[in-house]
Amino acid sequence: MIRTKVGAPSAELTECRMLFHGDYGSGKTHLMGTALRALTQNGRGLLIVVQGEPSLSTIQGLDIPDLEVVVLESYNDVELVAKEYAEAKLSVVGIDSITLLSDLAIDKVTGGKRAPGQKDAGGGNHDGRAEWGQVKSYFRVAVKQLQRLAPFCFAVCPSSKTENELTGAVSIAPDLPGKQAIGIVGMWDYVAYVDYVPLTPTKVQRRAHFEPMGSTATRCNLPRPITKPIAIPEGGGGWQAIAKEIMACRIPV
């Protein structure tokens, strides 16, 4: 049993768990990088990249002063990183991407040779429901382990768009197999859908949506909701723009 009290919000943002999802090229990795750069000015940061993600060039272009990078090759690496950095007093952690982190959980359950529930090479049957249950459990454990490493944790993943055949309504959610997107939103204080609108033939305005968007997955765990898209400035000020809006909505009116 845990006993606690609900107090007034602090005068500054001291912790945050935030997930960015959006189309490829929307700028979500760059946005996470601006947070990593801002929060390592007076602390130590860690970028956790799942093997197969080509994000390092984007992060390297931001010239982050004190950022260590680890590349996960298997699910067991999650546990190794969690143990190695448990006492490291990190300021911020970035994860790219949780979609491939989910793939590591699938590989752990199936050996990386088939999808959950599919027959193996020898023709053996497997209980798909049970295996997907294991995948979801391993995945959630991995996310929680990495979130605990620092007071600020950011992650990115692509979006998945599905259309209702009857109504034509489009749903946008983090791209995770096996209906894992249903529960992932609740594991983060903030979930932003990142997109952009063209301003000129050569210029776009990138935006982070925390406001309710119907069938698009967003979350904003604040006393007052963020009600409009946050315009992301060019350069390295993306995190500052988001933090400013969050702080403005933390104090109830």
88, 72, 92: which is closest to 142 by C-alpha?
72
Q: Residue 47: beta bridge partners?
A: 69, 94
Q: Is 7 exposed, middle or buried (0-12, 13-18, 19+ CB in 10 A)?
A: exposed
Q: How far apart are CA 150 and CA 67, in angstroms?
A: 13
pLDDT of 9 = 60
pLDDT of 4 = 60
pTM confidence score: 0.91
173, 194, 177, 197: which is closest to 185 by C-alpha?
173
pLDDT of 92 = 96
pLDDT of 42 = 85
Domain 16-248 belongs to what architecture? 3-Layer(aba) Sandwich (3.40)
The pair phi, psi for residue 147, each rounded to 5°, is: -65, -35
The pair phi, psi for residue 10, each rounded to 5°, is: -70, 165
- As given in the structure block, the two tokens for residue 124 are 């053996």
Is 84 in contact with 37 (CB distance < 8 Å)?
Answer: no
Q: Which residues of the chain have pLDDT under 50?
A: none
pLDDT of 63 = 79
User: What is the DSSP pairing of strand 219-220 with strand 230-232?
Assistant: unpaired
What are the Cα distances from residue 183, in Å, to 33, 140, 175, 176, 188?
25, 9, 12, 10, 10
Query: Any idea where the domains of the chain sit in the sequence?
Result: 16-248
Is 53 in contact with 96 (CB distance < 8 Å)?
Answer: yes
pLDDT of 253 = 62
- As given in the structure block, the two tokens for residue 11 are 């005068």
Q: How far apart are CA 206 and CA 90, in angstroms?
A: 29
